[in-house]
Structure 1
């Protein structure tokens, strides 16, 4: 939240009249921020902004009038969060418990010369992928990610 003082930005159309204001808009867009204040504050301009990187994180935004003799307006808002943390549904492969001997054996049993003979590249890839995924399913256990690393990419 900040007083950005860019009165020439039109937030409805996401346009700006000055170079600095356009740069601010580009920065906001490049970082996937959302501006949540919807009503103008001072002289019809929206100068105080509340930016968030997640829709639904900030709510109940209200303008509360000026602060003392200042032309600054007070902005009240709530940071919304879920009552309890959602559990990750991300499933990863547990390579530490994989049976690499069986995996090697299963792929070694496939007569690749005959299986891929006369096939185009795409069709050969699909055959190889099918055998690979079958061996993976049998030899590499899956597990659900949990803990503080559950929200990081697999």
Structure 2
């Protein structure tokens, strides 16, 4: 894996921003450890070509095992993927990931540079991390009734519901029941 790291020191005393550009060749495996280390930064913008053309970012799904592992790594490290438009033949290979909502703004695709098959991505790193309107719902766990939640999930005959299914087939069933109990 090839990468370049830049630390942006802010004069406002609000902390530094770590910007990292990386290219992951299709057969490289050291990426997950490096993402875990980088995500511990106070403010991170990680961008580059990650070579996962089969990922559907709207549904956070992927066809290939390696891409599912990448999605899991992104989720485990609480990173947000902020590019919304596909770039190369309908695929999003070049990504911009951040660990702070509202840190990256004014994202624009500017066409390819020279004869490259990559799009030029222009965006602003906002000095003061502003609150962005999230598309995600955040739960208020202080008001949760965990006894009721445990009871609702305990009523489900899991042996029958998951009988004869592997992990991949069981997950959507479990997740659906979990979300229904959450509601």
TM-score after normalising by structure 2: 0.44
Partner of 2:68: 22
Shift of 1:69: 0.8
The corresponding residue for 2:123 is 77
- Structure 1 residue 81, shift from structure 2 partner: 1.8
Structure 2: runs of 5 or more not aligned: 1-46, 130-183
In the aligned structure 2, how far is the partner of 1:67 from the partner of 1:17? 30
Map 1:113-132 onto structure 2 (within 5 A): none
Number of the residue aligned with 1:48: 94
Q: Tell me whether 1:11 sits opposite 2:61 in the alignment.
A: no
More helix by share: 1
In structure 1, runs of 5+ residues without a counterpart are 84-154
The count of corresponding residues between Structure 1 and Structure 2 is 83
Deviation at 1:9, TM superposition (A): 0.1
Give TM-score, length-normalised by structure 1.
0.53
Aligned to 1:2: 48
CA distance in 1 between partners of 2:116 and 2:126 (Å) = 29
Between the two structures, name the one with larger relative contact order (CA 8 Å, sep ≥ 6).
1
The alignment's C-alpha RMSD in Å is: 1.1
Please report how far the alpha carbon of residue 82 of structure 1 lies from its aligned counterpart in structure 2 after TM superposition.
1.8
Secondary structure at 1:51 match in 2:
strand
Confirm whether residue 67 of structure 1 aligns to residue 119 of structure 2.
no
